[in-house]
Amino acid sequence: DQQVKQNSPSLSVQEGRISILNCDYTNSMFDYFLWYKKYPAEGPTFLISISSIKDKNEDGRFTVFLNKSAKHLSLHIVPSQPGDSAVYFCAASELSGNTPLVFGKGTRLSVIA
């Protein structure tokens, strides 16, 4: 039973355009959501997060939107750059402390110059 779902295995976007990565979750106890970026031969690196008390969090070119009623979140990257090409994982946890993260399967983003 997958609690965090990323239904798009891959996404291809032109440089300068917007990239939108989607994530759905089923566990209503999740109250903290994160996006990680992973390059080959490296571990996942934290990108941006959002608490369930918010519906939007922005950090430079990256914005995460949370729709609690739909149990859906999305990551927007504007403008997309070739260096953004990586696998993006959506993750969730029930508490904001040292709790295990539940990851989606990831979406491979390719930004084409």
Residues that bind another protein in the complex, under the rule CB under 8 A: 4, 6, 9, 32, 34, 36, 41-46, 49, 89, 91, 93, 95-106
Closest distance to another protein from the beta carbon of 16 (Å): 28
Cα 23 to Cα 15, 17, 98, distances in angstroms:
22, 20, 22
Q: Collapse the DSSP code of 11 into the 3-class scheme (helix H, G, I; strand E, B; otherwise coil) and give the result.
A: strand
Nearest residue (CB) to another protein, 18 versus 39 = 39
Closest distance to another protein from the beta carbon of 27 (Å): 14
Nearest residue (CB) to another protein, 83 versus 97 = 97
DSSP secondary structure string for all residues of 49-77 = EEETT-SEEEETTEEEEEETTTTEEEEEE
Nearest residue (CB) to another protein, 9 versus 16 = 9
On whether the CB atoms of residues 112 and 24 are closer than 8 A, the answer is no
